[in-house]
Amino acid sequence: MTFPRSPRLLKGAIVAADIGNPLPQVIVFQYNPASLTRSLEPQMAANDGERGEALRIKGAPVETISLEVEIDATDQLEQAKPIAVSQGIYPQLSALEMLLYPKSALVIANTVLSALGTIEIVPPVGPLTMFIWGPKRVLPVKLTSFSVTEEAFDVNLNPIMAKVSLGLRVLSYNDLPVTHPGYHLFMAHQVMKEAMATVGTVHSVASVIGEQVHLPSAVTRVL
């Protein structure tokens, strides 16, 4: 039962936008993961750099995200939904797994070029993959790890319950050219993060260290 004034629950999702396809592939999480793990690796100047270089930041930190997504066809099977009855959760798993595959048409085209003696064959470019976790986190990412545990099957051995562990690496303006949509997507994310940091920052140093502590004048000018 849902209450009319209860807040609408947003669902996390992974979206893949292919330049050759005007319709993006939207994979909405059936259940939002209870937790996700984020790791940020600072991109600072080398420790053995010249004096005065220690505080230089080379770029945005390298951020990785790991989460576990659950997929369950139990409710659909109870309602005799045709796709769940005939295929279980095979379509949902396939949608996630295809984020790791090049398009078969491109593979065939490259195979033909190779057979014709083409010297250099450029690997196909994957879609712009986005991890969406609420309106404040829409991030360009690439999948770095993918693990599936299938936990139950129907009579045809179609999986009907599974847990998918995903490892994502956020792509920043360090990784993408300025002409790529992901470059601007990450820049918008950083601007949003800067605004949130302003909200969550104490603006008076005195409220932290007290009025009796006197900082050097060079520091107070910065603060």
pLDDT digits (tens, 9 = 90+) for 125-180: 788 999 999 999 999 999 999 999 999 999 999 999 999 999 999 999 999 999 99
pLDDT of residue 7: 66
Please say whether the beta carbons of 162 and 149 come within 8 A: yes
pLDDT of residue 121: 74
pLDDT of residue 78: 93
Question: How far apart are the C-alpha atoms of 155 and 164, rounded to whole Å?
Answer: 22
pLDDT tens-digit profile, the chain (223 residues)? 455 566 677 899 999 998 767 788 899 999 999 999 999 999 887 666 666 677 788 889 999 999 999 999 999 999 999 999 999 999 999 999 999 988 888 788 888 888 887 777 777 778 899 999 999 999 999 999 999 999 999 999 999 999 999 999 999 999 999 999 999 999 999 999 999 988 877 666 666 666 666 666 655 555 5
pLDDT of residue 107: 80
What is 26-45 written as a DSSP string? EEE-SS--S-EEEEEEEEEP
CA end-to-end span of the chain, whole Å?
52
Please report where in the chains the tokens 């849902």 appear, as a residue: 2
pLDDT of residue 54: 75
Closest listed residue to residue 16, CA positions, set 146, 173, 140: 140
User: Domain boundaries in the chain?
Assistant: 13-222
Report the chain's mean pLDDT, rounded to a whole number: 86
